[in-house]
Structure 1
Amino acid sequence: MELFDTSANRCPPGANIVGLRASDGAQLRAAYWRPEGPPRGTVALVQGRAEFIEKYFEVIGELLERGFVVATFDWRGQGLSQRLTRNRARGHVRRSTDYRLDLDAFIRQLLTPDCPKPWFALAHSMGAAATLDHSAACEEAEPFQRIVGVAPMVELHGFAGSTTARRLASGLRALGLARLFVPGGNARSLMEKPFVGNVLTGDPRRFARAAEVLRQAPTVGIGDPTIGWAHAAYRLMDRLTADGYAERIRTPVLMLAAGEERLVSTPAVEQFARRLKTASCLVLPDARHEIMMERAAVRARFWAAFDAFVPGEAVLHEAAARAAESPSGAGV
C-alpha cells in the first residue's frame, strides 16, 4: 500500500501507512500522522462516498498544524481498500452495517494502539452518517469525545431522496442487479467531470487538484454507486431517522451543512440535529457539498466552527490554568 501525491497535492511528511482487517475479512488502507510537539489528542478523519485518503492531504496538514494526531482510512469498496466487485469503478457495499465493521477495525487496530486520547471524529457525508450510526448502535462507551459531521448523509436531495427512488433501488436489488450501476450511472467520478455546474465545490483549484490525483492514480477512484450501495444507503438513513434512534447518541455533535447543497438534504440535517441530545447545526450559505474543499472564505468559517467545538485536551487544561491564575477566577 502507498500514498500518491502530485505537485499540487503534497502528502504531509511523516505518514504511517497501515493495513486493517475488518472482522469479516475486508482489507482496508489506513494512515496516520503525528504533529510536532505533544499532541492535543487525535482527529479521526472519516471520508464520504467515493473519497480517498489523498483527497484530504490539505485538511490533514491543517489538523497537524493544530497539534492533533490525524488518522484516516479508506472505506471498503473505495480508495485502495478492498473492492467488492470485479469492475473497480463501481462503488458498492453489501450491507450498510458493514461500515460499522470498518469503523470497529479502525478504532481497535489503529486508534487504540497508536493514537492518543481524546479522540474526535471529523466525518463527511456518508462517513458522517456511518459514524453517527456507529455511535447510536454502540453498546459500550462511545469512542469519540465529540463528532463533527460535515454535510451528513441523513437524507438525499431531490429525486434521489424520494420514495420512488427507494422503491426502485429495492426492486432492482430484489431482481439480482445489486452490483450494477444505479440507472444512468457510469464509471466516471464526479471529480472527473467539468467544473462548471458541479455539485461538489465552488473552488476551481481544489476541484482540479482532486481531478489531477485521479488522473495520476486512477486506482484510488470510483464512479457512480451501485444499486446495492443505494439500497444500503437508504437502510442507513432510515435507521438514523427512525423514532428513538438519534436520541441514543450521547456524544456532543456539531453539524455543518451547505446552503447550496444538491447531494444531501440540508433541511433534513437541521431537523436531525434538533433530535440529538447535545447537538448544534450551522448552515454555511455559500457552500456546496464538500465544505472542506470549498473556497477560502467558506473554509475559514468551517475552521472557526471546528476550533470552537474541538478545543483538544491541552487547550482545556490551558484554559483552566488561566482561569485559576485570574484574580477573579473567571479568566475563561
Structure 2
Amino acid sequence: MFNPQNCIGDNQPDEMSLFWQKGQFEFFSGTDGVNIHYAQFIQEKEEYLTIVIVPGRCESYLKYQELAFNLYCQGYSIFIIDHRGQGLSGRMLQNPNKGYVTKFQDYVDDLKYFIENIVMPQSLEKPYLLAHSMGGTIATRYMQDCPNAIKAAVISSPMLGFYSAFLPSSLAKMLVAIKLKFNNIISKTPWYFFGQKNYAPKGFTENKLTHSTERYHSFVNLYQKNKTIQLGGVTTHWLAQSIKAQKELFAKMTQLKTPILLLQAGSDTIVCQQAQDDFCQQLHTLRPQSCPNGLPIRIDNAFHELFFETNELRNKAITQSLAWFKQHN
C-alpha cells in the first residue's frame, strides 16, 4: 500500500509506482465530441487543497508521474488533463503526429469543463493551477474567461510568444499567415509548418528542454513505449491559432483577477522571454498581487521544462510554486 510518509526526501521508484496505481484515469467528451483523458489522485484525509496541472504541447499526464507524486506528498489532491490532439486524448486529423487544434479556444473550453465538472465536485475549495508552456497560455485564457474560479496560479515557461531566433517576430508571423493561406487554397489537409515533421526523438545533446539526462531519457523512453502519446511537429494552422490566442491574451489582460506567478527558464529557446517580461510588467501594473515587482521569477541556466530539469533547478521551481500557493491559501 502507498504510504505518503515514505515519499518525503529522495523519490523512490517503488513508492512512485504504488502512488500511480492509486490514481483514477478517465475521460470525458470535450468540444466537438473529442475524448479528453485525465488523471486524478485524491487525498484520503478529510481536509486537502487541490492542484490542477495543465501540461504543455506534446505532453501527456503519463509524463507527470514524478511531479504529481511530489505535490501529492505535500498534501494536495492532483488533477492532470491531456489536451485534445495529444497525449491519450483524441486526435482530429488522419495523421495523429500532426500538432493541430481547430480553434485554440477548444483547449480553453475543455479545461473549463474539466475544472467545473470533474475537479470542483471533488474539491473542498477553489483549486490552484500549475501550468507549463502551452498549458500556461490555455490556463491564462481560462482565467480570463472565468476570473473567479482559481485560487492562485503558477505558469511555468508560458507560451506567451514564440522564440523566432534571428528572424523578426513580425516577419515570422507573416510567414505563418502566407503559408496558411496557401495551404487553405491548395488543400483541405493542414500542412506541417516549415521544418516540422512526424515524431522523431532527438538525442540528449541536441535537446533544449532539460539538462537532466535521467529525466530526458525517462520521458523519451516513455514515448517510445507508448506510441499513442507520440506527437510530431506543429501545423501552420496550429501556429496561426496559437498566435491569435497570444494576441487575445494580452488584449484581455484586465480580465485577470487570479494571483499569478510566472516562472521563467533562464536559458529557454523554445518560447519568447520578452513576451513573458511584458506580460508580468503589464499584469503587475493592473494587479499588484501578481508577478511580484512586475517581473518573472527567473531560474538562471534552466532550459524550457523546469519541472523536468536537474534536481537543483527543478527544486527551485517546485519550491517557488508551493510557496506561492501557500501564500494564497
| TM-score band w.r.t. shorter chain | 0.7 to 0.9
Alignment of 1:161-200 (within 5 A): 162-175=169-182, 176=184, 179-189=190-200, 192-200=201-209
| Deviation of 1:283 (Å) | 0.5
Counterpart-to-counterpart distance in 2, 1:89 and 1:124: 21
User: Of residues 11, 19, 39 in structure 2, which corresponds to 1:31?
Assistant: 39
Per the alignment, residue 93 of structure 1 pairs with: 101
Q: 1:224 to 1:7 in 2, by over 3 A?
A: farther
Q: Which runs of 5+ in 1 are unaligned?
A: 1-5, 317-332
- Note if contact 1:23-1:105 (Cα within 8 Å) is conserved in structure 2: no
| Structure 1 position 310 matched with structure 2 position 325 | yes
Larger helix share, 1 or 2: 2
CA contact (8 A) 2:133 2:156 kept: yes
**Structural mapping, 1:277-316, within 5 Å:** 277=287, 278-280=289-291, 281-311=296-326
One-letter code of the match for 1:241? F
Q: Which amino acid aligns with 1:203?
A: S
Q: 2:151 maps to what in 1?
A: 145
Q: Does 1:45 align with 2:50?
A: no
Whether 1:231 aligns to 2:231 is no
Does 31-40 or 232-241 show the bigger shift? 31-40
State TM-score, norm by structure 1: 0.86
Residue 57 (structure 1) aligns with? 65
1:7 CA displacement: 9.0
Q: Following TM superposition, by how much is the alpha carbon of 1:142 offset from its aligned partner in structure 2, in angstroms?
A: 2.4
Amino acid at match of 1:164: L
The yes-or-no answer on 1:15 pairing with 2:26 is: no
Could you tell me which amino acid in structure 1 is paired with residue 297 of structure 2? L
Aligned residue in 1 for 2:127: 119
Give the count of matched residue pairs.
303
The one-character-per-residue Cα deviations of 1:203-231 (angstroms, maximum 9, x if unpaired) are 11000000010111011120111111111
Match of 2:273 among 266, 269, 272: 266
Alignment gaps of 5+ in structure 2: 1-12
**Pairing partner for 1:205 from 214, 220, 233:** 214
Q: Deviations over 1:152-177 (max 9, x none)?
A: 11111124772222122222222315
Of 275, 283, 289 in structure 1, the residue corresponding to residue 282 of structure 2 is 275
Q: Which amino acid aligns with 2:282?
A: R
TM normalised by structure 2 equals 0.87
Q: In structure 2, what is the equivalent of residue 328 of structure 1? A: none
Measure how far apart 1:85 and its partner are: 0.6
Give, in angstroms, the shift of residue 9 of structure 1. 7.8
Q: Please say if residues 259 and 284 of structure 1, whose CA atoms lie closer than 8 Å, have aligned partners that are also in contact.
A: yes
Alpha-carbon offset, residue 115 of structure 1? 3.0
**How many angstroms does 1:114 deviate by?**
2.4
Deviations 1:242-289 (A, max 9, x none): 3xx212200000000010000111222122012111312200002100
Moved more, 9-18 or 180-189: 9-18
